[in-house]
Structure 1
Amino acid sequence: MGAMNELINATTVDSLARILRTSDGPDFPQLLATTAGLDPLSLRQRTDLTSAAMVRDLEAAYGPSAYPHVAALFRRALAQPDFTAWMIWPVTETAVTLALRDTEFFDDCLELLAELTGRLTAEFAIRRLLSADLDRALGVIQTWTSHPDEHVRRLASEGTRPYLPWAVRVPEITQRPEATIPLLTALHQDPSEYVRRSVANHLNDLARHAPELVVSTATSWRAADGTSLATAWVIRHGLRTLIKKAHPGALTLQGFAPVNVQVTGPRLDSQNVQLPGELSFEFEIVNDGDAESRLAVDYVVHYAKANGSQAAKVFKLTAATLAPGESRTFSKKHGFRQMTTRVHYSGTHALELQVNGVRHGWTEFHVQA
């Protein structure tokens, strides 16, 4: 995360203060003073530090009811092309902090975030407005689904995701999973792939705690949109976790019915993997049924944990269609390396295959970390 942290640095802060001053804003002594303390902080901490300093400077200049003056200042700053990139994150957080001082400014702050989102994104700051009054926020956000700017339409989906990376959670969104479905229904055929990808990721988020709602929603889209390639892609991407988890409704919707197949393997190129390294394997599938079979072919790595137990993770491999009696060989290389999101431990691991949700061929191997 070191390089990511530097997205907000002393140069970013100096530029932000300059842009706001030249937009008829006040001086920013508190904001400029933050540059001395940025180095040890994460990106999120840098955002919070600079935003808090901006709030102090702006309230010193405009008083406790600073929001209308600050909103006007930020809108004036939008006339400057270099008012963009990662300086926008603390700007959006500052707008929300000041707006939440008085509910009168709630709706205008949402519209300000929509104006700012094209310069980076307002998806993180909007979470606090959602937490403050979900129904009021969604009432405004629903109107964005027909906005001419794809960045605003994406904000409607991305900003309301249940498990948006880097963002604070909005408990009411997970408690009321149906609340954001109207947004997704309005956007799942959006002309922008940028927006549709967000819709699919949002649907996949919902699948973690509301799988039946996700399947029923996708089913209704399929029934309404027929052969739409855009809808098919969104559904496929949005159901990806449920397919890996072998959810019956998701498998059926995607055409992966129970099948009569024979699976041979997996055959490993080695029983030992030295980190960093990779494991190559291959296997065969034979369609023993009397009809053509559509297959969701995945594999499962059972990782050794620090306490000696194992934790399984399913990886997508491919989809395939086999005629009756047809045999096909599949191969894959799986990499093992230490990452911030996964720590590998020495010990016995295992590999399994998964075809239409059914596991086959447990095979063990050893990893030396």
Structure 2
Amino acid sequence: MGAMDELISPAVVARLRAAMEAVAPTGDFSALARAEDEVPGLRLRERVDVVRDALLRDVPAGFPAARRVVRDVLDGPHLEGWMIWPVTEFVASRALESGSTRDFDAAMALLARLTVGLTGEFAVRELLVARPERGLHIMRTWTGHDSEHVRRLATEGSRAYLPWAKRVPWLLAHPRATRGILDATYRDPAEYVRRSVANHLNDLSRVDPSVVTDVAAAWAGDPDAHTPRLLRHGLRTLVKRADPAALSLVGFTGNDLHVARPRIAGDVVPWNGDLTFTAAVTNHGETDATVAIDYSIGFRRANGSVSAKTFNLGSRRIAAGGSAVVTKTHSFRPITTRTYYPGAHDVTVQANGVLSPSETFVLERADDDRRQSGARS
């Protein structure tokens, strides 16, 4: 199992059980005790579910009991780190079982307290699915909270495509619904919050690009010192798509560009080796251009298809009639987020969204594969 899965280990579950027993000494936490033996071998999300379900079995029914025990544990020193995640899910589950508006609001408030120790962003999605408008109304009040963690819960928990989290269909159908949260936090003093705002904005570019450029234009008209950087990060997907409004908002210009086919230093890349290429970008316009340059690699997949991934190469200022040559070395050494497969790949360079012709290269097989192939022949 991966290191991430071990974040909720038997020892972590045991500490959570001890924290619960400290505030409810007459309680029966046998399900939590069993969970200590059940979590090994499971993925992180599965471990969260096991511990949440154990809490649901051990803590007396009804949201008031759940609220009371969680608040008592919060008042002590023992609830900390990753054990908080299943506790947040337990709180949301009990509130939804109740169906009460009062319990819903109390659960939202409890998640705001819990998020300071880790995060409540995954549990809040359950509440948003059930009551999106009421949930967003409460989250809007968090944007003025003293804690940057609570302010970030507002921006992160309401993202359209929050990683690892349940989708909230209502948010996808109403992409302007979080505008109030974003407007209240784009000039937040904490980089932690502003980065969440930028990721939230980038998520919306997959839903409705016009919403993103409208919001970004308003912020560009009322910026602070951090707004340009936030916009560059929040508009990154639209810039790669050469959206004219997004390019203009982050200061990229030039509408008569040509990008030559990349030139590769050798058309075969060794396994665990590097791809090095150059490409020329020419500005045929009559004025200087500020150009966003990216490159895409078409990675071969297990089924033989090719899936492209775009990477940033930086920016260049190119004089009218001039050219800039860019060089990049891309590593094919092992990483945890991608599996490489031998065979034909391709590379493309783009400037303000203007694409070069693609160039093909071959990733060699691993040494072990080549030896096995030789043995068979």
TM category (shorter chain) comes to: over 0.9
Is the 2:254–2:285 contact (alpha carbons within 8 Å) kept by the matching residues of 1?
Answer: no
Question: For residues 138 and 262 of structure 1, do their structure 2 counterparts lie closer, same or farther at Cα, with a shift above 3 Å needed?
Answer: closer
Q: Name the CA distance, whole Å, in 2 between partners of 1:307 and 1:132.
A: 39
**Number of aligned residue pairs:** 362
Deviations 1:277-303 (A, max 9, x none): 221112233434332211011111122
Quote the offset at 1:325 in angstroms: 4.3
Partner of 1:50: 51
Write the deviation string for residues 292-348 of structure 1: whole angstroms up to 9, x where unpaired.
Answer: 211011111122344444322221110121233444332111122455543333222
2:375 maps to none
Give the match for residue 185 of structure 1. 183
Quote the residue 1:252 is aligned against.
248
Distance (whole Å) between structure 2 residues aligned to residue 290 and residue 58 of structure 1: 72
Q: Contact 1:299/1:317 (CA < 8 Å) preserved in 2?
A: yes
Q: Is 1:151 the equivalent of 2:143?
A: no
Number of the residue aligned with 1:93: 89
> Is structure 2 residue 17 aligned with structure 1 residue 21?
no
SS in 2 for 1:179: coil
Question: Does residue 349 of structure 1 match 2:349?
Answer: no
Identify the residue that residue 2 of structure 1 maps to in structure 2: 2
Q: Distance in 2 between matches of 1:127 and 1:54?
A: 19
Superposition deviation, residue 351 in structure 1? 1.0
The one-character-per-residue Cα deviations of 1:28-71 (angstroms, maximum 9, x if unpaired) are 11111111111121101000001101111002xxxx32x22321
- TM-score, normalising length from structure 1? 0.93
Q: Which amino acid aligns with 2:6?
A: E
Q: Partner of 2:281: helix, strand, or coil?
A: strand
Determine what percentage of the aligned residue pairs are the same residue: 43
> Which position in structure 2 is the counterpart of 1:75?
71
What is the CA distance between 1:229 and its match in structure 2?
2.8
For 1:235-314, what aligned pairs fall within 5 Å after superposition? 235-314=231-310
Which residue type is aligned with residue 12 of structure 1?
V
Give the drift of 1:191: 0.5
Amino acid in structure 2 at the alignment position of 1:207: S
Give the structure 2 partner of residue 105 of structure 1: 103
Take 1:186 and 1:266, find their aligned partners in 2: how far apart are those partners?
44
- Separation of aligned partners in 2, 1:10 and 1:193: 34
- Greater shift in the superposed pair: 148-157 or 298-307: 298-307
Question: How many Å separate the matches in 2 of 1:365 and 1:289?
Answer: 32
User: Could you tell me how far apart the structure 2 residues matched to 1:212 and 1:340 are?
Assistant: 35
Alignment counterpart, residue 335 of structure 1, candidates 308, 331, 340: 331
Letter in 2 for 1:43: L
| 1:198 paired residue number | 196
**What is the letter of the counterpart of residue 343 of structure 2?**
G
The CA distance in 2 between the partners of 1:309 and 1:245, in whole Å, is 22
Tell me which residue corresponds to 1:37. Answer: 38
Q: Separation in 1 of the partners of 2:181 and 2:285?
A: 42
Instruction: Write out per-residue CA displacement over residues 111-149 of structure 1, whole angstroms, 9 at most, x where no aligned residue.
Output: 000001010000011110000100111111110000010
Task: Name 1:166's counterpart in structure 2.
Answer: 164
Residue pair 2:259, 2:350 contacting (<8 A) in 1 also: no
Partners of 1:139 and 1:132 lie apart in 2 by: 14
Is the aligned partner of 1:12 residue 2:8? no
Partner Cα separation in structure 2 for residue 249 and residue 324 of structure 1: 22
RMSD of aligned C-alpha atoms?
1.8
The one-letter amino acid paired with 1:58 is V
What is the TM-score normalised by the length of structure 2? Answer: 0.91
Rounded to whole Å, the distance in 2 between the matches of 1:129 and 1:262 is 50
- What's the counterpart of residue 129 of structure 2? 131
Give the residue type in structure 1 aligned to 2:294: D
Amino acid at match of 1:243: V
Shift of 1:258: 3.6
Query: Structure 1: where are the runs of 5+ without partners?
Result: none
Amino acid of the residue matched to residue 10 of structure 1? P
- The 2-side partners of 1:215 and 1:87 are apart by 39
